[in-house]
Amino acid sequence: MTKNKRLDKFAIAAALQEIAALLELKGGKDRFKARAYQAGARVVGGMSEDIGEVVLENRLTSIRGIGDALASQIEQLYLTGESSVLRGLKKEFPPGIIELSGVPGLSTSKIKILHEALGITSIAELKSAAEAGKIRGIKGFGAKTEGKLLETIANHRQRAKTEERLHLHRALQTAAQVSNYLQTARDTTDISYAGSLRRWKETVGTIRIVANTKEPAALVEHFLRFPLIVEVMEQMEEACTVRLAEGARVSLVSARPSEFALALLMETGSNAHVNKLHQIASDEANRPEAKGKRRKSSGRKSARSSELQTEEDIYNQLGMQYIPPELREDEGEIEAALAGNLPEDLVTVEDIRGMVHCHTTYSDGKHTIEEMARAAEAMGMKYVTITDHSPTAFYAGGVTLDRLKRQWDEIDEVQEKVKVRILRGTESDIVADGHLDYPDKILEQFDVIVASIHSRYKMDSAKMTKRIVTAMRQPVFKIWGHALGRLIQRRPPFECDVESILDVIAESRAAIEVNGDPWRLDMEPRWIRAARKRKIKFVISVDAHSTGALNNLKYGVAMARRGWLRKSEVLNTLGTGAFVNAVRPG
Ligand SMILES: [Zn+2]
Ligand SMILES: [Zn+2]
C-alpha cells in the first residue's frame, strides 16, 4: 500500500459505477446489487466532506446509502486503488464490455467472440473492423450481420446525441459534481452552467458548462481526465462533449477571460434567442448612422473583447436591457428589452418570506410540525404554512376532523417555542364535483387553504374545467395547488380549458401556486404568463414532505421567473401580517 495509489472521490465513484454496470450485465438478482452500487457512486461523487477523512475515521456506514459491503469496497479503493469485487467481475467479462454492450443487439457472448477473434475492446474498434470487412469472416456473423452492425452503430451514435433528457434535479446534481472537479484546475476563475440547465428547463439534454480560464486547452485536457467519463463524443482544442457513466452528456466550453461573457451567452441559448441577437447585431452593424453614434461612446473595435466583460455589457451594447437566463426563449423578451420595459424586479429566492405548502407527520410528511417550523426558521423565513392533506386523500393519511383539532393544539404548543409564525392550513382536495373537502365552517377557520386535485385525472376536458371552476368560485379564498397535475417525464398535465379557468380565477377569491416540487413544477411558465395578464396573484410553494424539501424553493422561484413573475405578484414575498390578510379564507 503506497500513498500515491489512493483514489479521490471521483475515481472511487467511477469504480463503483463500473461495478454497477458489470453487475447489471450479469442480470438476475445482481441487478439489485447494481442499484446499490450506482446509488453509492452518486453519494461518493457528490460528497462535500473529504473522503479520506471519512474512511480513516471509519464513518462510511454512517452515510445514508452506504452499507457494509459498499463501505468495504470504498475503503479498499481509497487505500489501495483497487476493489476486489471489481477485479472479480472484470475476470468474468472481456475488456470494453460496458461500452460495447451499449450497441443494441450485441450480446455478451457475441462481444466475447469478437474479442477472442479480433481483440475488439471498443465501439470504435468494432466500427473499423466492420468497415474493413473483418467481421464477416467470424463464425456466426457473416456479411449481412456486418452491414447491419455498421448501421446500428451509426444509429446508436445519433440516438445517444439526441435521446434521453435528464430531469432538472438530476442534471443539477451531476453539473455540481463536474464543476466541483473542474474547480481543481489551475488558472480557472469562473465555472458557470449554461444551456437549458441555466435556463431552468424541466429537463436537460446536454449539461453545458462554460469555464473562464487563462489556459483553455489545458482545462479541456484536465476535464477529459474526469474519471466518470465513459465516452468522448466530440473533442476540439477548447471544447468537448462527453458522456458520463450514468448516461448524462456534458459539454465544456473553455474560454479565455476576454471571451468568457460572449461564450456564456452563446452557450446559454436558447438557439432562437441567440439567433435573434445575431440578427440585431448584424442589422445594427449595417446601419451607418448607428455606427457613428456608437463609436462616440464606446469605440466598436475594442468593445468586441476587452469592454464586454459581462453578459450585461453585451446586451447593453446591442441597445437593450439585460435579459436574465430564465427568459431567453425568444418569447417577446428581446422586444421588451429593446423597448426598455422588461421587468427588472423578477422575484428572487431572497424575496420569499414564507414557506407555503408544507406537509408533516399528520399526513404524508416525514417530519413533525416543530421540525418543519424550525427548518423554515433556520432558512430565514418569517412564516410557514402547515398544509396537510384533507380526509379524501385517505391514501396520504388525510387529516380527519378530530386529528385536525389535535394538530391545531400542537401548532399552538410549538408556536410558543419558535419565532417563525406557524399558519394553520390544509391542502384540501378538490373532489370530483368541484367542492372542497371539509365543511365550510371548518374551512373558514384555517389561515390558508391550498386546493388541489389528487384523483380522477382522466375526466374529459369539459368536466374537469367545470370541476375546477366550481372549486375556484367557492367563497373561501384558496390557492390552486399544482394546477394541472403533471409529473415531469411521468404524467402529462390533465385536460381542461385553462384560459377559461384563468378568466374565472381573475374574478374569484383565488390565487395560483407555482409548485416547487421538482417533479411537478406546475403551473408551467406559459400559463403563468397567461395568468399574469389577468392580474392574478401567485404563491411560490415548496410542497415539502420533509425538511430537506424546503430547498424546493429554488425550483419554484425559477419557474416563476420563467413565467416573468415580479416580486409584487407573489403573495409570499409579503411580510407576515400582509400575507395572512391576503390569504385569509373567510
Ligand atoms: Zn398535492
Ligand atoms: Zn402537497
Average pLDDT of adjacent 10-residue blocks, the chain of 586 residues: 64 90 88 90 87 92 91 93 93 88 86 93 91 91 90 77 82 92 86 98 97 95 91 92 90 96 96 95 76 45 62 96 98 97 97 98 97 98 98 90 96 98 97 94 96 93 97 96 95 96 97 98 96 98 97 98 98 98 95
Burial (CB count within 10 angstroms: exposed 0-12, middle 13-18, buried 19+), residue 271: exposed
Distance of CA 170 from the midpoint of ligand 2 (Å): 21
- C-alpha cell, 584: 385569509
pLDDT value at position 231?
86
Distance of CA 458 from the midpoint of ligand 1 (Å): 17
Residue 104 carries which side chain, given as an amino acid letter?
A: P
- Give the ligand with the smallest distance to the CA of 451: 1
Over the stretch 398-445, which tens digit does the pLDDT of each residue have? 999 999 999 999 999 999 999 999 999 999 999 999 999 999 999 999
- Give the ligand with the smallest distance to the CA of 393: 1
pLDDT value at position 156?
75
State how far the Cα of 364 lies from the Cα of 389, in Å rounded to an integer.
8
pLDDT value at position 103?
84
Distance of CA 425 from the midpoint of ligand 2 (Å): 11
Residues in the 5 Å CB sphere of ion ligand 1: 452
State how far the Cα of 204 lies from the Cα of 194, in Å rounded to an integer.
11
pLDDT value at position 580?
98
Pairing of strands 510-515, 478-480: parallel
**Residue 150: enclosing H or E segment and its boundaries?**
helix 142-162
Distance of CA 570 from the midpoint of ligand 1 (Å): 20
Alpha-carbon dihedral angle through residues 491, 497, 503, 505, given to the nearest 10 degrees:
-40
DSSP alpha helices (H): ranges in 474-567? 498-507, 525-533, 553-562
Distance of CA 514 from the midpoint of ligand 2 (Å): 12
Question: Which residue in this structure is represented by grid cell 419557474?
Answer: 559
Distance of CA 516 from the midpoint of ligand 1 (Å): 12
Please report, for residues 21, 116, 142, 202, the alpha-carbon distance to residue 124 in angstroms, rounded to integers and kept in the order given. Answer: 20, 17, 20, 34
- C-alpha cell, 73: 469496497
Number of Cβ atoms within 10 Å of the Cβ of 432: 14
pLDDT value at position 183?
87
3-state secondary structure of 38: helix
Burial (CB count within 10 angstroms: exposed 0-12, middle 13-18, buried 19+), residue 514: buried
pLDDT value at position 297?
43
**φ and ψ at 102, to 5 degrees?**
-75, -15
* Contact assessment for residue 136 and residue 143, using Cβ atoms and an 8 Å cutoff: yes
The helix, strand and coil proportions of the chain, stated in percent and rounded to the nearest 5, come to 50, 15, 35
State how far the Cα of 183 lies from the Cα of 207, in Å rounded to an integer.
17
- Give the ligand with the smallest distance to the CA of 357: 2
State how far the Cα of 197 lies from the Cα of 207, in Å rounded to an integer.
7
Distance of CA 380 from the midpoint of ligand 1 (Å): 25
Does the pTM of the predicted model rise above 0.85?
A: no
Distance of CA 437 from the midpoint of ligand 1 (Å): 13
Over the stretch 308-333, which tens digit does the pLDDT of each residue have? 789 999 999 999 999 999 999 999 99
- Give the ligand with the smallest distance to the CA of 485: 1
Please report, for residues 398, 428, 473, 505, the alpha-carbon distance to residue 456 in angstroms, rounded to integers and kept in the order given. Answer: 17, 15, 20, 22
Distance of CA 561 from the midpoint of ligand 1 (Å): 22
Please report, for residues 187, 453, 474, the alpha-carbon distance to residue 437 in angstroms, rounded to integers and kept in the order given. Answer: 60, 11, 12
CA angle 274, 279, 284 (to 5 degrees): 125
State how far the Cα of 311 lies from the Cα of 317, in Å rounded to an integer.
10
**φ and ψ at 428, to 5 degrees?**
-85, 130
Distance of CA 456 from the midpoint of ligand 1 (Å): 13
State how far the Cα of 358 lies from the Cα of 372, in Å rounded to an integer.
8
Q: How far apart are the first and last CA of the chain?
A: 72
SS3 assignment for 551-584: HHHHHHHHHHHHCCCEHHHEHHHCCHHHHHHHHC
**φ and ψ at 233, to 5 degrees?**
-85, -30
Over the stretch 28-87, which tens digit does the pLDDT of each residue have? 889 889 999 988 988 898 888 899 999 999 999 999 889 999 999 999 999 998 999 999
Distance of CA 397 from the midpoint of ligand 1 (Å): 12
304: Cβ contacts below 8 Å, ≥ 6 apart: none
State how far the Cα of 255 lies from the Cα of 274, in Å rounded to an integer.
18
Distance of CA 576 from the midpoint of ligand 1 (Å): 24
Distance of CA 558 from the midpoint of ligand 1 (Å): 20
Q: What is the DSSP letter of 366?
A: S
Distance of CA 571 from the midpoint of ligand 1 (Å): 19
Question: Which residue in this structure is represented by grid cell 470487412?
Answer: 133
Distance of CA 543 from the midpoint of ligand 1 (Å): 7
